[in-house]
Amino acid sequence: MRVIFFSSQTYDRDSFTKAPTPAGLQLQFQPARLNLDTVALAERHEVVCAFINDDLSAPVLERLAEGGTRLIALRSAGYNHVDLLAAKHLGLSIVRVPAYSPHAVAEHAVALIMALNRCLHRAYNRTRDGNFSLHGLTGFDLVGKTVGVIGTGQIGATFAQIMAGFGCQLLAYDPYPNPQVEALGARYLPLADLLAQAQIISLHCPLNEQSRHLINADSLAAMQRGAMLINTGRGGLVDTPALIEALKSGQLGYLGLDVYEEEAQLFFKDRSDQPLQDDVLARLLTFPNVIVTAHQAFLTHEALAAIAMTTLDNIAAWAKGAPQNLVDS
């Protein structure tokens, strides 16, 4: 059975090569992003393995089905980039990696908090230039601060556990309260109350029609002035232009992003020799109290190994007629 990987990087090839490959699978790694221009590469491949920024809209799915593809194996937990109704109509099965390493993403969110708070990005650049002034680098103690966790699945719960270890007071928002998070002393509140009370807010919820632009001009205005916002979830959870206005006014004091709504054409490539064409992202990068990383929160050895193992297991189980980790339309 032929499997083609789109948007594959060196670390993908390394992790999948090291994982035990089920008998009968032939793996082909393709660095190109899946879209209408590249979908022809998948012809005569029964399985397409896609990542978060691959185009899995109806037109692309139709071309895949015409070329003989029967399974889309996502090497991610999120599936908001898949037209599930079209997939069902075409008879395409969709499987995903529901959990790989919640610690990887949660710890990256904490790293963003620490770097923003203690101005590590600015201090690093200063000392490399021989500037050892401490002016403007004052941070704050995390102990006793109120942290709002929006989305308390596995990643959100792991993040909450880490912040509890710092001695933070925890607030949470999720339609389905997690007993593990409640056991940490977290109080579940309506979103408006969490926004008003938290000094640090971290997003760990899926992207769907209800959560798209959950953070917008109104919700930013409802936050405490100078609050910190962290997003390691999905770029579409925030209205990015609204972030810029809140940063300009000082309403938003710190911003850490590992995801960006328009990242598909930017992230995972070296574009350092080209002018940045995205004016919104370019403006964000001018703020000294903003850190943007290029969707790297998942990037640990442990997480990559788990993604590879689960993805290959998903493909093997589907081939045997006993699919696992199916995404329902």
Which residues are catalytically annotated? 234, 263, 295
d(CA 73, CA 92) in angstroms, rounded, equals: 10
Please return the burial class of 93, using the count of CB atoms within 10 Å of its CB with bins 0-12, 13-18 and 19+: middle
Dihedral angle of Cα 102, 105, 106, 108, to the nearest 10 degrees: 150
Q: What are phi and psi of 45, to 5 degrees?
A: -110, 120
The helix-helix angle for 102-117 and 301-319 (nearest 10°) equals 150
Angle at 153 between CA 289 and CA 21, to 5 degrees: 100
Q: How many CB atoms lie within 10 A of CB 110?
A: 19
